[in-house]
Structure 1
């Protein structure tokens, strides 16, 4: 029996993944003259920003002590752009309304920093749908480790097996399955043929298909 729905944020509630990539590319070009390419962002979706930037710095032999400053700059600029031009994923309000009407608690569990989660949900005017906003910020391990999802089930006081996670990324899907939760994946169009998504319980193409998938898994 399903008792709670857990949403990832970036790429599920808001079309923000391209914004993150663009801002990182601009800042690294400006600060270091480094062109971040597709290889730098391979399998980066769902990864906590501090971990991703640490990988950038190792890959391009950049000072590791700069990572916290770059994190702050990137998070601030991404938040500013989303607030200025919010891009909710199509069908997000309708889906949240449907879930709420059926009495299922809804939480967001994201790799984004706490302030960023609040900023984005407010910009989209959907924060009132979520009973809790849970960030992997400050946790020892981010996705693909299950910690952020296990924290969500703990806060809700429900068993992990009773939760359904809505994810768009391989890292998030792996984290949810490691937490013993059911997973609905909605990959970006360019990633939908990735065979690794076969690990998910259901794969959908849009949020418009998610409620039917939830009913299927309940």
Structure 2
């Protein structure tokens, strides 16, 4: 029986991607580099640090990675604080409450920084529902590397066959499967250019699952 659900954040709980897109591209303009939408899509699921390592490798730009990350974060924070229409994705709040009220443990495993996770959790009052949050900035390799999901499963205190992951990105699904975890792929309208075919189950709407269904997954 499934006892733990591990949630990705961006594109699953909240769509901060437009804010990230704006912040990254404002910074790219500042750096005078041309990042195509196809190249940008390939960064999905990567930590900001790893994105800038790739940017440095591709474009040969100067600057320390940590400085580049902080510059981008400044653009993001300004946009995040001023974006009044930022909201949780449809149906996910009800799913979180349903899972929690039925005794299923919830863990967040996001490539986002701890600062961004904290901002989202504070804004939408999510702290009471999740026992742990795991940030991609704590790992040298980003999704599709399985480290973040291995850590989340370890923190759950349950076996991997008692855990599932909800993901919306190609790299996230690959990471979940590399960690030998059952994966629900969320086919969001925001999941542009993402391939979820490796997921064990694909949903288009969070109303498609609930605690009763989740507990039987992977059996």
- Count residues in correspondence: 215
Let me know the Cα RMSD of the aligned residues.
2.1
Q: Secondary structure at the match of 1:137?
A: helix
How much does 1:80 deviate? 4.0
Aligned residue runs from structure 1 range 178-189, under 5 A = 178-189=178-189
Closer, same or farther in 2 for the Cα pair 1:192/1:74, shift >3 Å? closer
Distance 1:204 1:151, change over 3 A: same
Q: Is the 8 A contact 2:2 2:215 kept in 1?
A: no
Aligned counterpart, 1:163: 163
The CA deviation at 1:216 is 5.3
- Contact 1:184/1:210 (CA < 8 Å) preserved in 2? no
Query: Is 208-217 or 172-181 further displaced after alignment?
Result: 208-217
Q: Which has the higher helix share?
A: 1
Is residue 143–residue 171 contact of structure 1 (8 Å, CA) maintained in 2? Answer: yes
Q: How far does the alpha carbon of each residue in 1:103-139 deviate from its partner, in whole angstroms, 9 at most, with x for none? A: 0010100111112211111112222211111112131
Name the structure 2 match of 1:198: 197
**CA spacing shift, 1:14–1:66, aligned 2, 3 Å:** same
1:213 Cα offset (Å): 5.6
Corresponding residue to 1:78 among 70, 76, 86? 76
Q: Take 1:209 and 1:122, find their aligned partners in 2: how far apart are those partners?
A: 27
Q: Which runs of 5+ in 1 are unaligned?
A: none
Deviation at 1:191, TM superposition (A): 4.8
Task: Give the gaps of 5 or more residues in structure 2.
Answer: none
**Cα distance change, pair 95–130 in 1 and its aligned pair in 2 (3 A):** same
Q: Which residue of 2 aligns with 1:88?
A: 88
Farther off after superposition, 83-92 or 148-157: 83-92
Distance 1:76 1:100 in 2: 34
- Provide the TM-score with structure 1 as the length reference: 0.89
Query: Hey, what does 1:28 align to over in structure 2?
Result: 28
Contact 2:27–2:75, Cα closer than 8 Å, also in 1 = no
Q: TM-score, normalised by structure 2?
A: 0.89
**Structure-2 change in CA distance of 1:193 and 1:80 (3 Å):** closer
Cα contact 1:118–1:133 (8 A) shared by 2: no
Structure 1 outlier segments of 4+, above 6 Å = none
Which stretch of structure 1 is more off in the superposition, 81-90 or 104-113? Answer: 81-90
For 1:216 and 1:24, locate their aligned partners in 2 and report how far apart those are by CA, in whole Å: 40
Change in Cα spacing, 1:193 to 1:208, as seen in structure 2 (3 Å) is farther
